[in-house]
Amino acid sequence: MTPPTKRLLAISFACLILLTGCRLSYRLEGQGTTAVLIPPVSRISPTVKVSNARSHPAVLVGCDIENDLLGLEWRGNTAEICLQSESYFPAPGDERPEETAPRVYLDSVQRIEAFRDALKARVVKGCLRSNEAQALTRTIVERLPFPPLIGHFIRFGSEVDGI
């Protein structure tokens, strides 16, 4: 192949990628008045399994977390995270005229904080390390569909707290 042919082939390939876009990208979809961020996974499921989510925990029992929003069950070093589907925002028509952004139900924020607190307690107990807890919250947000604000609360909390 001559250099101009190689160059033309490379340019054609680059244009094809640009025109078709990346299939592994997040999508923002509307569900009523709520926008939900859909992660780039092949199949959306309410349960996510994370292999090797922890290594050599000091404690193996009493490490599961039961929560109304997110549940965490350990099978060895594999974490099984289950999402309970619920509404995070008030129904359409329940907004006040002075509101510029949707309100988040306080229950949802409290459940997220309760899950994060339980995860921190499992770190203190020795079920997993702090960096493994951070990786779990990142995986939850990357692999389950959430409104962006809810994903932010799960990943970072509503305050700066270290996990």
Tell me the per-residue pLDDT of 109-132, one tens digit each, with 9 for 90 and over: 888 899 999 999 999 999 999 999
Name the pTM for this structure: 0.66
| Torsion (CA) 106, 110, 116, 121 in degrees, nearest 10 | 170
53: Cα within 13 Å, side-chain hemisphere:
27
Question: How many residues in total does the chain contain?
Answer: 163
Burial classification of residue 136, based on how many CB atoms lie within 10 Å of its CB (0-12 exposed, 13-18 middle, 19 or more buried): buried
Residue 66 Cα distances to 20, 63, 96, 148, 149, angstroms: 42, 10, 34, 23, 22
pLDDT in tens, 47-91: 889 999 999 888 889 999 998 889 999 999 999 999 876 655 555
